[in-house]
Amino acid sequence: MKTKDKFPSLMTIAPTPVQFLESIKNDFGYNVFCKRDDLTGFAFGGNKTRKLDYLIYDAIEKGSDTLIGVGAVQSNFCRLTAAMGRKAGLNVELVLGGKKPEKPSANYLLDILFGANLNFVESEDWNKWEVKAKQLETELRKKGKRPYFMPIGGSSPVGALGYVEAFYEIYDDQKYLDVEFNVIIHATASAGTQAGLIVGAAVKGWTGKIIGIGVAKSSKQISGEVYELANKTAEPMKIKIEKKKIIVTNDYMGKGYADLTKDCVKAVEYFARNEGIMLDYVYSGKAAAGLLDMLKNKRFRKNINILFIHTGGNVGLFR
């Protein structure tokens, strides 16, 4: 499935740049590179554009006229669903979990600007959000609409293909930079990014570690979801993903999703002041907190190359 062949205006601006983090080398002694998927180019960017390239293509191929996106009130996925869906000429229905803010800001403000229809569920339970979205799908079909439902984060076998392709890009980045990455670190929550990377690595025969820094749920739950989604995504490729390939830690999550931790705040400040890279407090900041802690505690050999994937979310700084 090649989105760029049919909808070039929707395609993620890729390859995204990779930059060497000199301050981290100076402060910790490790070679760390940052894959700037915050710069995917569409509507403030982020990792979800890669998933939506495939999801929107699939929706149009199936004759859908409406996208249904699900996420928290400040969801990056919902913001990009609104922008990319409207660009593709589709109606967009968003189911947003949590209390409706009194004043629009950040992603919520952009959802309104992009013209999405907003449906609120005053709950922090992700399952309740998806139940509401499924109810909405049924209602729209009764009205003669042709909705295309997407799970939280766009994490379906179709959406995960975006990060299978992203891994191919990372594989090529190695050749361009003349380095071999040994470890990849990124934020993980709805499983799609990590599942896609793991499948891409399996296709290419890459033997390094992919470490997901959990920012929601328990590490056991995310690991199970990544394993299941990775195998569903890999099935058409006749590949079986081994459980040992799934590495997830939620040691840096705090009390739960979107909980502001001291280490996250420090990591956001460190990247801003030392690398000029902006992170967010929900996803990339916590992943960076995990990265910095692992470096500080010498969890890796000194001669390896580490790739940190910046998955975006910077809009959240303006809440």
Structural domain boundaries of the chain? 3-47+156-318, 48-154
Selecting among 9, 23, 64, 75, the annotated active-site residue is: 75
- Quick one: average pLDDT of 18-30? 98
* Nearest Cα residue to 88 out of 96, 100, 80: 80
User: For residue range 105-144, what is the model confidence (pLDDT) as tens digits?
Assistant: 999 999 999 999 999 999 999 999 999 999 999 999 999 9
Q: Which amino acid is residue 75, in one-letter code?
A: S
Q: Which fold has domain 48-154?
A: Rossmann fold (3.40.50)
pLDDT score of 145 more than 80: yes
Reference 28, options 230, 311, 304; nearest CA is 304
156 carries an active-site annotation: no
Can you give the pLDDT at residue 21? 98
pLDDT (tens digit, 9 = 90+) per residue, 201-223?
Answer: 999 999 999 999 999 999 999 99
- State the pLDDT at residue 1: 44
Residue 80: CA count within 13 A, CB half-sphere: 30
Fold observed for domain 3-47+156-318: Rossmann fold (3.40.50)
pLDDT beyond 70 at 7 = no
pLDDT tens, position by position, 267-310? 999 999 999 999 999 999 999 999 999 999 999 998 999 999 99
Distance (Å, rounded) from C-alpha 73 to C-alpha 116?
13
* Matching fold, domains 3-47+156-318 and 48-154: yes
